[in-house]
Amino acid sequence: MIAVHEDRGPRQVGSPSCEFGVSTFRPGSPLTERDLSQLWEGQRFPPQALTTTSGRPLQVLYRGRRGGGPGPDFRDAVIQAPWGTLKGDVELHVRTSDFRRHGHQHDPAYNRLALHLVFWPDEPQDTLLASGRRVPVAALAPWLERRQEEIRRWLEGPALWQEPCRSAAGRMGDEAVAAVLDRLGDIRFRRRTAELRRALAGQDRDEVLYRALLEALGYGGNREAFLHLA
């Protein structure tokens, strides 16, 4: 049987359970949130492995991007469910109950959650958010039970699960990477300019400027909250 890491306190950013790095997982050893994060980042499971605790299938269209700070582990994921397309964040825990033990049910930063991914579903109900909304829980333990050695080998090979652009500077050189970033920056600037022009066509100029300034002040994790203030 797969062992799980006993995490009995609030998770701290930068603690071993939520850092990304080479896994310490061994068959029979505890599984941690870090292992689960790497599995999700690399999407190292077949489509049929991802189902809600009630048995309804889920398909990952986009896994999201790592949160990199307080709040959900992955941001802006897109997941296809039988009842529609889920767009939002993904939070990872060893057990379903860890969400409540960490106090996330009182934290509005988790209100955009689309999925709660766990190893072990120790609670039968969907996860309740601060907003009063519930989100589905998906558990990977049934799929992982007979694949411990395979998962160990995969987690020990960072090249298999790390972001493909992580080694871009070494492969392409600093100047080539800078040129790509500069080109993407120009594309983003033109797209943003077009958005503001469309807004100016139907709204007061001062209002458009005010909303744009507040949105910029909210980057990256508080953009939605600052727009709400506007």
Question: Higher-confidence residue: 204 or 163?
Answer: 204
SS3 percent helix, strand, coil of the chain, rounded to 5, is: 40, 20, 40
Query: Is the pLDDT reported for residue 202 higher than 90?
Result: no
Predicted local confidence at residue 36, as pLDDT: 87
- Is 122 exposed, middle or buried, given 0-12, 13-18 or 19+ CB atoms closer than 10 A? middle
Q: What is the mean pLDDT of residues 5-26?
A: 37
Query: Is the pLDDT reported for residue 131 higher than 60?
Result: yes
Q: Give the pLDDT band (50/70/90) at residue 218.
A: confident
Predicted local confidence at residue 211, as pLDDT: 84
Contacts of residue 75, defined as CB under 8 A and 6 or more positions apart, other chains included, come to 64, 65, 66, 67, 89
Main-chain phi, psi angles of 104, to 5 degrees: -65, -25
Predicted local confidence at residue 1, as pLDDT: 47
Q: Give the pLDDT band (50/70/90) at residue 118.
A: very high
The mean pLDDT of the chain is 79
Distance CA 100, CA 72 (A): 14
Predicted local confidence at residue 61, as pLDDT: 93
Distance CA 206, CA 35 (A): 48
Q: Computed from CA positions of residues 90, 92, 96, 98, in that sequence, does the dihedral angle turn out positive or negative?
A: negative
Predicted local confidence at residue 23, as pLDDT: 39
Q: Give the pLDDT band (50/70/90) at residue 109.
A: very high
Q: What is the mean pLDDT of residues 7-30?
A: 38
Contact present, 104 and 88 (Cβ < 8 Å): no
Q: What is the mean pLDDT of residues 101-110?
A: 95
